[in-house]
Amino acid sequence: MFTLSDLNEKYTYDYSVKKSITRAFNSKRMNKKNPYQLVTFINKFVTTNQWEWDRVTLHICKRIEYLVQEELPADISNKNEIYSWIIKGWKK
């Protein structure tokens, strides 16, 4: 699975936030500076699509991180909307 150590160091993450599994899963909004929320969100792609963990999946996870950090419109913060936005824009 995708872990905190897989996150790209060029992005600024707030590691001072407390890790909360229930908050990461139950929150409808995502703070893209929260590394725990982002890793949980990315891993949901892996489990939902039943991807086998390999180099290709790691590359896809890093691509999702890039899209969230650099391409995601500022007015989208709902996890379902982010998921839909990524799916729609994946081919670009």
Instruction: For residue 29, list its beta bridge partners.
Output: 78
What is the reported pLDDT for 72?
A: 95
Nearest C-alpha neighbor of 40 from the set 56, 55, 54, 26: 26
CB atoms within 10 A of CB 33: 14
What does the pLDDT look like over 9-19, one tens digit per residue? 999 999 888 76
Q: What is the dihedral of CA 36, 42, 44, 49, to 10 degrees?
A: -170
Instruction: Write down the domain spans for the chain.
Output: 4-89
* Residue 24 pLDDT grade (very low, low, confident, very high; cuts 50, 70, 90): low
Q: Could you read off the pLDDT of 27-47 as tens digits, one per residue?
A: 788 889 999 999 999 999 999
